[in-house]
Amino acid sequence: MAEKPNFSGWSCPLPLRDYERIVIGHGGGGRLSAELVEHLFLPAFGVDPSEELRDSAVIDLAAQGLADSGGRLAFSTDSYVVRPLFFPGGSIGDLAVNGTVNDVAMSGAQPIALSTGFILEEGLKMETLARVATEMGIAAKLADVRLATGDTKVVDAGQADGLYINTAGVGLIPEGVDIRPGRATPGDVVIVSGPIGMHGVAVMSKRESLEFGTEIRSDSAPLNSLVADMLAVTSDIHVLRDPTRGGVTSSLCEIASTADVGIAYEESLVPVPAEVAAACAFLGLDAMSVANEGKLVAVVPAEQVDAVLVAMQDNTYGREACVIGKVVEAHRGMVVAKTTFGATRVVDLQLGEQLPRIC
Amino acid sequence: MAEKPNFSGWSCPLPLRDYERIVIGHGGGGRLSAELVEHLFLPAFGVDPSEELRDSAVIDLAAQGLADSGGRLAFSTDSYVVRPLFFPGGSIGDLAVNGTVNDVAMSGAQPIALSTGFILEEGLKMETLARVATEMGIAAKLADVRLATGDTKVVDAGQADGLYINTAGVGLIPEGVDIRPGRATPGDVVIVSGPIGMHGVAVMSKRESLEFGTEIRSDSAPLNSLVADMLAVTSDIHVLRDPTRGGVTSSLCEIASTADVGIAYEESLVPVPAEVAAACAFLGLDAMSVANEGKLVAVVPAEQVDAVLVAMQDNTYGREACVIGKVVEAHRGMVVAKTTFGATRVVDLQLGEQLPRIC
């Protein structure tokens, strides 16, 4: 047995912004989340903080002596604590499948199998659970992934808000594919796969019983077929990101920081549905920072952009794919937006989260 | 998009014992848990209920076109909701690592990577989280497994009992190894790897502030090295089970039912520490049904027993391994115990759980 450490005098290795307790923002996918990973989890787990962090880990089977060459697995997990459990366009069930399918797909991998871990509140209606589980089954079929193994725990009434779901996913990365934030290179072009902000606004408007004239529906969708179509054009996709918590802003900031490049985008090019724009104006939100569940951000070499865009627009989930900006040499590590008025502004990671518990 | 079903008239495909709501026992690893999986999750997920269920799913890489031959992955998940978070001999942190390492190892696989999903309660002390995470790091090092990817969500104060953890694990199954409950064959011998009941009693006595003279410590431990040592003797191990929720009784009942064989064991051969026996007598529990986290049940061909036992006893985690019974032709699907008074009794799966939330 290894020595158990003594925690009586434990102090945080680096100041976690002097938070002595967890706040909602630590789960928001913004700067507080990043600090928690960097300053608490990685040192505790004994992981080198300089390792590049991605949506999914890569396991090299050849290095494990299993495959003869090049076989690599993508492995990822997410817990889902969204409230309410059902919202326009989706539910915690299809979110739990699509979210993890998409995390795995962001390595360029095709997901093979998902695990499903349920934490149920005593007293949860059986019908509610069945509805969630059935939506998971439908989503898995749509994404062509197997729900392979699972676990169920029950906690006391008053805990767990009805239910929480964790899914983990395993996928195969095709040979020759190397997709990660660190590969963004000046000259590359930044694409989004369609209109943004719909998932976060759909959940929020349902939760707060807000009506915006038109009902805004979550874009929850599996993106593995879209990624496969993109990779059929070229294996040289540099970066893919799933702009969930923290939205497109978080994805761009992480890419700029990890690759040490500048990213410049034009606000006028960002596809924001009119209903989302109206809701964001009303709620005081920035659509670029609102969560999505069926969109991706891609960074591709300039010479591949046209062909990749055509392939994306041929896929159901990429019909409205478009270019929003580029990777530049200037302002390394920073994201800069050109506003619709022609001015420029620096865009930064949010501290916490605009909309808590949207996934 | 697949059609979203209409749930307004939903009714349970088979009566879930007429429970309209989730009860604590649905998470107990007993009959209620099994019914929930069989009658709710599998139909909802579109999985054939006749598929053999195991602690971990097996993914055949050759069938996926990745490996040239025989490469198989084990994939498993568990959520951890134990109360209290810290108990004699362990914590939710090392349990979350050991539990999933052991589930993967029960396929004969060597675990490669774990995912870690945290659900944190707003207001949780940073020091508590750091202590849990550090114990996970130590446990991972001891089990020689990588904590490869993770996720953190934060829920409102009053939810999640401080914290819940989900881990999923991926491992490689050595060629020629085929370990599953269905392989139990009349003539095989049933082994336990050491004294039973320690984890459940340790958690319960801490939770209820009971004192039993001697402090009983959880046996939480990683069993992958023990499994590797057993497989070094023979690849022909038939079944391995991790007797956690529901204890050794649950494992034996599942094996008897899945393989359609009888299992007979002698109560006098079952190693129950005196302190566990005393606590069980006091609490009205059956030690055979109390959870363990560092023990395994093995079913091996009679001709391999002596060699396997020697290998187990040479490993730290199998020093007190011993034979407790055998697989028989008689009473198929049933487990029968020979009592210390020479009588026999039928042993059945519990409905729910003796000790809730012990993992």
Q: Is residue A14 part of a domain?
A: no
The CATH number for B252's domain is: 3.90.650.10
Does the distance separating the beta carbons of B77 and A168 come in below 8 Å?
yes
What pLDDT does residue A56 have? 80
Does the distance separating the beta carbons of B152 and A26 come in below 8 Å?
yes
Identify the closest residue of chain B to A32 by CA–CA distance: B152
Q: Is residue B12 part of a domain?
A: no
Please tell me which of the candidates A47, A112, A150 has its beta carbon nearest to residue B64: A112
Which residues, numbered 161 to 200 in chain B, qualify as contacts with chain A under a Cβ-Cβ cut-off of 8 Å? 161, 164, 166, 168, 170, 172
Collect all residues of chain B within an 8 Å Cβ-Cβ radius of residue A148. 57, 59, 75
Shared-domain flag, residues B166 and B207 = no
pLDDT of A312 over the 90 cut: yes
pLDDT of A135 over the 90 cut: yes
Quick one: CA torsion of B271, B274, B276, B282, rounded to 10 degrees? Answer: 130
- Residue A265 sits at the chain B interface (C-beta within 8 Å): no
Does the distance separating the beta carbons of B118 and A81 come in below 8 Å?
no
Quote the CA–CA distance of B55 and A25 in Å, as a whole number: 35
Shared-domain flag, residues B121 and B206 = no
Q: Quick check: A263 and A192 in contact, CB under 8 A?
A: no
Q: Is residue B8 part of a domain?
A: no
The number of beta carbons lying within 10 Å of the beta carbon of residue A216 is 26
What pLDDT does residue A338 have? 95
**What is the dihedral sign for C-alpha A62, A66, A67, A72?**
negative
Higher pLDDT, A160 or A316: A316
Close Cβ partners of A40 (under 8 Å, ≥ 6 residues apart)? A12, A13, A16, B126, B129, B130, B133
Q: In A49-200, at which residue ranges do the beta strands (DSSP E only) sit?
A: 57-60, 72-80, 86-87, 90-91, 110-121, 146-155, 163-173, 189-192
What pLDDT does residue A295 have? 98
Identify the closest residue of chain B to A54 by CA–CA distance: B149
Query: A258-303 pLDDT, tens per residue?
Result: 999 999 999 999 999 999 999 999 888 899 999 999 999 999 999 9
Pairing of strands A163-173, A72-80: antiparallel
Which residues, numbered 196 to 235 in chain A, qualify as contacts with chain B under a Cβ-Cβ cut-off of 8 Å? 221
ipTM higher than threshold 0.95: no
Shared-domain flag, residues A198 and A253 = yes
What pLDDT does residue B32 have? 87
Shared-domain flag, residues A194 and A325 = yes
How high does pLDDT run on average in chain B? Answer: 89
Identify the closest residue of chain A to B21 by CA–CA distance: A125
Shared-domain flag, residues B222 and B312 = yes
Query: A184-203 pLDDT, tens per residue?
Result: 999 999 999 999 999 999 99
The CATH number for B139's domain is: 3.30.1330.10
Most confident of A339-348, B55-64, B290-299: B290-299
Band of the pLDDT at A208, cuts 50, 70, 90?
confident
CB-based contacts of A15-19 (< 8 A; 24+ apart in sequence): A15/A39, A16/A40, A16/B126, A19/B126
pLDDT of A351 over the 80 cut: no
Pairing of strands B262-266, B163-173: unpaired
Shared-domain flag, residues B343 and B212 = yes
Query: B204-232 pLDDT, tens per residue?
Result: 888 877 776 678 899 999 999 999 999 99
Which of B121, B147, B173 is a domain's end point?
Answer: B173
- Residue A26 sits at the chain B interface (C-beta within 8 Å): yes
Which of B143, B173, B203 is a domain's end point?
Answer: B173
Q: Is residue B24 part of a domain?
A: no
Which of A147, A173, A199 is a domain's end point?
Answer: A173
What pLDDT does residue B49 have? 67
Shared-domain flag, residues B104 and B204 = no
Query: Distance (Å) from the C-alpha of residue A204 to the closest C-alpha of chain B?
Result: 16
CB-based contacts of B83-86 (< 8 A; 24+ apart in sequence): B83/B161, B83/B203, B83/B207, B83/B357, B84/B203, B84/B206, B84/B207, B85/B128, B85/B132, B85/B162, B85/B163, B86/B131
Interface probe with A: pick from B10, B79, B293, most Cβ of A within 10 Å: B79
Q: Is residue A26 part of a domain?
A: no
Tell me how far apart the 2 most distant CA atoms of chain A are, in Å: 64
Say how many domains are in chain B: 2
Q: Is residue A8 part of a domain?
A: no
Shared-domain flag, residues A227 and A286 = yes
Shared-domain flag, residues B169 and B186 = no
Q: Is residue B65 part of a domain?
A: yes
Shared-domain flag, residues A152 and A290 = no
Q: Is residue B28 part of a domain?
A: no
Mean pLDDT of A338-345: 91
Band of the pLDDT at B70, cuts 50, 70, 90?
low
> Is the pTM higher than 0.95?
no
How high does pLDDT run on average in chain A? Answer: 89
Shared-domain flag, residues A201 and A288 = yes
Interface probe with A: pick from B18, B82, B166, B242, most Cβ of A within 10 Å: B166
Most confident of A203-217, B41-55, B323-337: B323-337
Collect all residues of chain B within an 8 Å Cβ-Cβ radius of residue A175. none
Shared-domain flag, residues B233 and B148 = no
Range with lowest mean pLDDT among A3-17, A63-77, A218-232, B338-352? A3-17
Band of the pLDDT at B8, cuts 50, 70, 90?
very low
Band of the pLDDT at A51, cuts 50, 70, 90?
low
Pairing of strands A335-338, A262-266: parallel
Band of the pLDDT at B1, cuts 50, 70, 90?
very low
What pLDDT does residue A69 have? 52
Owning domain of residue B280: 181-347
Please tell me which of the candidates A75, A141, A154 has its beta carbon nearest to residue B26: A154
Mean pLDDT of A13-38: 80
Write out A118-161 in H/E/C secondary structure: EEEECCCEHHHHHHHHHHHHHHHHHHCCEEEEEEEEEECCCCCC
Band of the pLDDT at A85, cuts 50, 70, 90?
very high
Query: Distance (Å) from the C-alpha of residue A345 to the closest C-alpha of chain B?
Result: 30
Band of the pLDDT at B82, cuts 50, 70, 90?
very high
